[in-house]
Amino acid sequence: MTIQAKNSAREHDNELLVAVAAGNRRALEELYLGYHRRLARFLSRFTARYENVEEIINDTFMVVWQSAKDFRGASQVSTWIIGIAYRTALKSLRRQKNHNNALSLDESPQQTTDPTFDAETQDWLRQGLSRLPIEQRLTLELAYHLGHSLEEIAAITDCPVGTVKARMFHAREKLRQYLPSLGGGRGDAPASSP
């Protein structure tokens, strides 16, 4: 996407959110359909059940509907919406974990096999990601799956930039230990770190 197209998309999101704040249901519908695919693909990396994905997306847009009038433009609309989704997902995933219903390896969504990326490494990666603490994994996914910048992730997660860097560093380091073909290690589970 060119810079011009990005700016135009941002302006359109802003207009939609202003309309949502005024109670315009059509604007909410457009915003919902515009973000649904991105959020669904992102969330389906954490839970295989569509009803969970849908619940998180709808909870997110319920907050958007109720809080649009409070949006002051301190960040982009997309960052604000993804931030709400992040907090909703974090709450939901923690609840699932507490109920011993967190994403199991057997349940995790299968990715299309990339011919240049062998199946064994793909499997190691899937297992490694599922073992990361949820905040570290979300940080990694926000950067790699959604393509967010360091500053955007700090805004989305409502954390200082330093915390985001630290989470990312620990996530990468643990992943290398889990992935022998990538990190040269034995693939043993590393000791837990903050």
Partner 1 sequence: MSEQRGRLGCGQPGISALIPWYVNGSIDESERRRIDLHLSECALCRDDLEQERRVYQGMTAETNIAYMPAASLKRLQARIDGAGGADTQASTPAAKRSARRMPWQAVMAASIAVIAVALSLLAADRWMQVRARAAAGSYYTVTTPAPRASGEVIRAVFAPAITLVDLQAILDEAQLRIVAGPSEAGVYSLASNSQRPVASALALLRAHDQVRFAERTPFSVGPGDTP
Q: Which stretch binds partner 1 (CB under 8 A): 2-10, 12-20, 72-80, 148-156?
A: 148-156
Verify binding: residue 183, partner 1, rule CB under 8 A: yes
Work out the burial of residue 74: count CB atoms within 10 Å of its CB; fewer than 13 is exposed, 13-18 middle, 19 or more buried: exposed
**CA triple 69-71-74, angle to 5 deg:** 160
Contacts for 161 with CB less than 8 Å, ≥ 6 apart: 150, 151, 154
Verify binding: residue 2, partner 1, rule CB under 8 A: no
What is d(CA 126, CA 120) in angstroms, rounded to the nearest whole number? 10
State in angstroms the smallest separation of the CB of 15 from partner 1: 20
Q: Which stretch binds partner 1 (CB under 8 A): 11-19, 71-79, 89-97, 118-126?
A: 118-126
Q: Which of residues 22-41 bind partner 1 (CB under 8 A)?
A: 25, 28-29, 32-33, 36-37, 40-41
CA-based nearest residue to 148, from 38, 59, 55: 38
Verify binding: residue 147, partner 1, rule CB under 8 A: yes
CA-based nearest residue to 125, from 47, 178, 56: 178
What is d(CA 3, CA 192) in angstroms, rounded to the nearest whole number? 41
State in angstroms the smallest separation of the CB of 94 from partner 1: 21
Q: Which of residues 64-103 bind partner 1 (CB under 8 A)?
A: 65
Q: Contact positions toward partner 1, by CB under 8 A?
A: 25, 28-29, 32-33, 36-37, 40-41, 44, 48-51, 54, 57-58, 61-62, 65, 107, 109-114, 116-117, 121-122, 125, 129, 140-141, 143-145, 147-150, 152, 165, 168-169, 172-173, 175-177, 179, 182-183
